[in-house]
Chain A
């Protein structure tokens, strides 16, 4: 059963802790993305990766870090430098240069809700 999995579904963090959110895909997609969603707002891009061992900052990368050691995996670490980390985090993936589809369609995981205690 192909898809994108994120874990955990709920995560609680104490002040000053780093936490890591998992994102795995078995769709053989090239690109992976992390978005942050705050209540009543759209999604904002944190980081993205188009190839293994390479990733780029998005619009709100401060206080976050990522790695892309395997094509299937793109974990996100929320560091203590992120001042307001409570949010819903969504991971997505897509083929690059999907000519048959006409566009690189992104598919999303179920999300992780992070709460700072």
Chain B
């Protein structure tokens, strides 16, 4: 089956610090990989995605590279802001069957001024 493992939070950083949130996965078939962000009391927003090996997804200064050899999709940002404080979810889907997302447990990021 499919599974996603994320580093546990909370992750607490000072403004302008470098961010890494680790994500590894197991999947049958050829997964597409996603990062979603959730602000308090809201639904999930798509942050970035990658559909094949070595693809790099990027958005709003965040990046993640699909590494098939290490089955990883780590999220990075060079300089975080207070407004980046949220919960980040790594997820995958495959192109067969039910096509639903399999999620990691989420990582809470707290950025202090």
Contact = CB atoms under 8 A, between A and B. Distances in A.
The answer to whether A and B come from one shared complex is: yes
Contact of A42 (B49, B51, B106): B106
B34 interface: yes
Interface in B1-39: 4, 32, 34, 36
Interface residues of A, number: 30
Interface extent on B, as a size class?
20 to 34
Given A102-B32, A110-B42, A41 B99 contact: no
B103 interface: yes
Nearest to A113: B41
Contacts of A75: none
A106 interface: yes
B98 A105 contact: no
- What 7 pairs across the A-B complex have the smallest Cβ distances? A42-B103, A103-B32, A102-B51, A108-B43, A108-B44, A110-B43, A42-B105
8 contacts: A42-B106, A43-B44, A43-B89, A45-B101, A50-B99, A105-B49, A108-B45, A111-B42
